[in-house]
Amino acid sequence: MAPFTADGSNDLVACVLSHKVHEVSGQPAIIDNRPYGGPAIGIELVVRAAPEGYTLLATAGGITISVSLHKLLFNPLKDLSPVMLLAQMP
């Protein structure tokens, strides 16, 4: 899940990762871009997804500040677990 528009920097990194996941695992890796309403809607879909181990979220680290700015139905600090740093951009 990439909760941003297609062709943005977040989406490009997710594309590179999905191709590598497909090469290594042989399983299709589909990027689901959900830019509507900021990243909160896409992130909430990941938080509510079944914990089967196949749903990953590719997002920017700034989502943690959303807790203090918006009333969210989830807490990114408690409901999400970081897996890896994909990229750093200025």
Contact 15, 4 (CB under 8 A): no
33, β-bridge pairs: 2
pLDDT of residue 23 exceeding 90, the answer is yes
pLDDT of residue 79 exceeding 80, the answer is yes
- What's the rounded Cα separation, in Å, for the pair 6 and 69? 25
Looking at residue 86, its pLDDT comes to 82
Contact 46, 54 (CB under 8 A): no
DSSP 2: B
**What pTM, to 2 d.p., does this model score?**
0.73
Give the model confidence (pLDDT) of 2-11 as tens digits: 777 787 777 8
